Amino acid sequence: MDWVERIKYLECYFRSRTGEVDTAYAVEKFYSSLHLVKTYCIPMLLYGCEVWYVRPVDMKSVDVAWNNSFRKIFNACWWEV
Protein backbone atom coordinates (compact mmCIF):
# COMPACT_ATOMS: atom_id res chain seq x y z
CA MET A 1 0.00 0.00 0.00
CA ASP A 2 1.32 3.44 -0.93
CA TRP A 3 1.69 6.20 1.65
CA VAL A 4 -0.14 9.43 0.75
CA GLU A 5 0.08 12.94 2.19
CA ARG A 6 -3.66 13.50 2.43
CA ILE A 7 -6.85 11.47 2.43
CA LYS A 8 -10.22 12.48 1.01
CA TYR A 9 -13.33 11.63 3.00
CA LEU A 10 -16.78 13.16 2.39
CA GLU A 11 -15.36 16.00 0.25
CA CYS A 12 -12.89 16.92 3.02
CA TYR A 13 -9.16 16.33 2.88
CA PHE A 14 -7.24 15.25 5.94
CA ARG A 15 -3.49 15.19 6.43
CA SER A 16 -2.54 11.58 6.85
CA ARG A 17 0.21 12.09 9.43
CA THR A 18 -1.71 14.33 11.84
CA GLY A 19 -5.38 13.85 10.94
CA GLU A 20 -5.85 17.64 10.66
CA VAL A 21 -8.13 19.07 8.01
CA ASP A 22 -6.32 20.28 4.90
CA THR A 23 -8.13 23.45 3.81
CA ALA A 24 -6.11 23.97 0.62
CA TYR A 25 -8.72 22.18 -1.53
CA ALA A 26 -11.59 24.26 -0.11
CA VAL A 27 -9.69 27.51 -0.64
CA GLU A 28 -8.84 26.50 -4.21
CA LYS A 29 -12.49 25.65 -4.89
CA PHE A 30 -13.56 29.00 -3.42
CA TYR A 31 -11.22 31.02 -5.64
CA SER A 32 -12.17 29.05 -8.75
CA SER A 33 -15.84 29.87 -8.08
CA LEU A 34 -15.00 33.55 -7.86
CA HIS A 35 -12.97 33.34 -11.05
CA LEU A 36 -15.87 31.77 -12.93
CA VAL A 37 -18.25 34.51 -11.81
CA LYS A 38 -15.83 37.25 -12.77
CA THR A 39 -15.01 35.65 -16.11
CA TYR A 40 -18.46 34.62 -17.32
CA CYS A 41 -21.15 36.42 -15.34
CA ILE A 42 -19.90 39.99 -15.11
CA PRO A 43 -19.40 40.39 -18.89
CA MET A 44 -22.96 39.14 -19.50
CA LEU A 45 -24.36 41.39 -16.80
CA LEU A 46 -22.52 44.51 -17.94
CA TYR A 47 -22.53 44.03 -21.72
CA GLY A 48 -22.93 47.44 -23.35
CA CYS A 49 -22.90 49.32 -20.05
CA GLU A 50 -20.72 52.06 -21.53
CA VAL A 51 -23.74 53.43 -23.39
CA TRP A 52 -26.38 52.87 -20.70
CA TYR A 53 -28.23 55.72 -19.08
CA VAL A 54 -28.36 54.28 -15.57
CA ARG A 55 -31.15 55.28 -13.24
CA PRO A 56 -30.79 54.41 -9.56
CA VAL A 57 -33.43 51.68 -9.87
CA ASP A 58 -31.48 50.12 -12.76
CA MET A 59 -28.26 50.18 -10.77
CA LYS A 60 -30.06 48.48 -7.89
CA SER A 61 -31.19 45.64 -10.18
CA VAL A 62 -27.58 45.12 -11.31
CA ASP A 63 -26.45 45.06 -7.67
CA VAL A 64 -29.16 42.54 -6.81
CA ALA A 65 -28.11 40.26 -9.67
CA TRP A 66 -24.47 40.45 -8.55
CA ASN A 67 -25.33 39.69 -4.92
CA ASN A 68 -27.65 36.84 -5.94
CA SER A 69 -24.88 35.16 -7.91
CA PHE A 70 -22.68 35.00 -4.81
CA ARG A 71 -25.58 33.90 -2.65
CA LYS A 72 -26.20 31.03 -5.05
CA ILE A 73 -22.54 30.00 -5.22
CA PHE A 74 -22.00 30.08 -1.46
CA ASN A 75 -25.49 28.92 -0.46
CA ALA A 76 -26.19 32.07 1.54
CA CYS A 77 -29.52 33.49 2.64
CA TRP A 78 -31.17 36.34 0.71
CA TRP A 79 -30.53 38.92 3.43
CA GLU A 80 -26.75 38.31 3.49
CA VAL A 81 -24.65 40.71 1.45
- pLDDT for 18-36, tens place per residue? 878 877 877 888 788 778 8
* Residue 75 confidence (pLDDT) above 70: yes
Burial of 13 (0-12, 13-18, 19+ CB in 10 A): middle
* Residue 80 confidence (pLDDT) above 70: no
Residue 2's pLDDT band, with cuts at 50, 70 and 90, is confident
